Structure 1
Amino acid sequence: MKSNIPIPGSIREKILNQAIKEFGMHGYEGVNVQQLAKSIGVTTGALYHHFGNKIELYKVVREEIERRITSRMEGAAEVHDDSLTSLKSAMLVGFNAAVKLNACKLLSEPDYSSNRDLVAILFNEILGDNLVEGVEVILSSVWRASLKNITQGMSPEDAKKALNWFSEKMI
């Protein structure tokens, strides 16, 4: 695969930036490649030249958004001494980042391009020795469900309250 870091001002960067917005708002199924290309002012051929196909473009977008968010989550987790407080902090900071980046739809849908869950991997790292096998996947699912609540009409404030309630009661 070609490098994921586009040259500033390049067609690849324009495609990637617009794709992040579109997949973030509409999810995989809601993005039409022809309309995406038209909104950028390029042909679908140019889009396919840089990314191969829709699923490859989605894969780059999904990984980029998850990396941006998990990076913030890591930073939030590192300021605490115990793993459970780190986990709670990471969940809430990640939630805030997903809302701010308008990525709730993208991050709450199944990942059509990979079987790696970067959020679950991070939760696994945060919990370390306190990890019960499989709990990181459950926690990632709860975190993603809180984002899905927003896509289904719940206010971000109420979705965050629900996630916070879960983290206080269950973690």
Structure 2
Amino acid sequence: MKNWIPVPGSKKETIIRLALEQFKEKGYEGVNIKDLAKEANMTTGVIYHHFGSKAQLYSVIRQDVEQRIIDRMEGAADTVSDPVNKLKTALVTGLDATIKLRVGRLLCEENLHAADKIEEFVLQLLEGSIEGLKFIVLPSWRSILAAIEYEKIDLDQGRELIEWLFQT
């Protein structure tokens, strides 16, 4: 949960809004702070003043996006009691939310700048399951996101793949 909400129309809100769009479109490596500042009609100094670095700006955005996805995943998982179906339901819901919010590129790339909240949530759901399953489930989910993002498969095929992973 955010511990602050940027004031609408403020420089901080403008930076976050524009940076989110750029990170969604280009990924972390593709975003250039000089270009972001130019689009925001600000100096790079203003961005660094508010966020300290590109990595910290990315972390703010990534954590907010992850929390939005987790909120949906948790809600869906809470409707199911069976642990396997709970995980499957959460992953399908997360997939749907990611595509709806158009943040697939952002979430399929590794987060080197902060703890990955989605990974932590999935690991909680995996507690007590088969040892090592974490090395299959989350990377598979991210691969499905990437395949959808890069138009190798569509959303329905992504859902089918998650269903297939959980066949018993």
**TM-score over 0.5 for the pair:** yes
* Counterpart residue type for residue 39 of structure 2: S
Q: Distance in 2 between matches of 1:120 and 1:36?
A: 29
Unaligned runs of 5+ in 1: none
1:70-149 equivalence runs, <5 A: 70-114=70-114, 116-128=115-127, 130-149=128-147
Unaligned runs of 5+ in 2: none
Post-superposition Cα deviations, 1:47-95, rounded to whole Å, max 9, x if no partner, equal 1111111111111111111111011100000011121111111000000
* 1:69–1:98 contact (8 Å) kept in structure 2: yes
* 1:24–1:103 contact (8 Å) kept in structure 2: yes
Cα offset for 1:36? Answer: 1.4
Cα offset for 1:9? Answer: 2.5
Give the paired residue count: 165
Cα offset for 1:118? Answer: 1.7
Tell me how large the CA RMSD over aligned residues is: 1.8
* Counterpart residue type for residue 164 of structure 1: E
* 1:62–1:106 contact (8 Å) kept in structure 2: yes
Identity, in percent, stands at 37
In the other structure, the counterpart of 1:22 is: 22
* 1:76–1:89 contact (8 Å) kept in structure 2: yes
Q: Distance in 1 between matches of 2:141 and 2:41?
A: 36
* Counterpart residue type for residue 113 of structure 1: H
Cα offset for 1:8? Answer: 2.7
Q: Distance in 2 between matches of 1:137 and 1:18?
A: 34
With normalisation by structure 1, the TM-score equals 0.87
Does structure 1 residue 160 correspond to structure 2 residue 159?
A: yes
* 1:124–1:131 contact (8 Å) kept in structure 2: no
CA 1:89–1:64 in 2, change beyond 3 Å: closer, same or farther?
same
CA 1:118–1:136 in 2, change beyond 3 Å: closer, same or farther?
farther
Q: Distance in 1 between matches of 2:4 and 2:30?
A: 23
Cα offset for 1:4? Answer: 5.0
In the other structure, the counterpart of 2:57 is: 57
* 1:70–1:119 contact (8 Å) kept in structure 2: yes
Does structure 1 residue 13 correspond to structure 2 residue 13?
A: yes
Does structure 1 residue 151 correspond to structure 2 residue 149?
A: yes
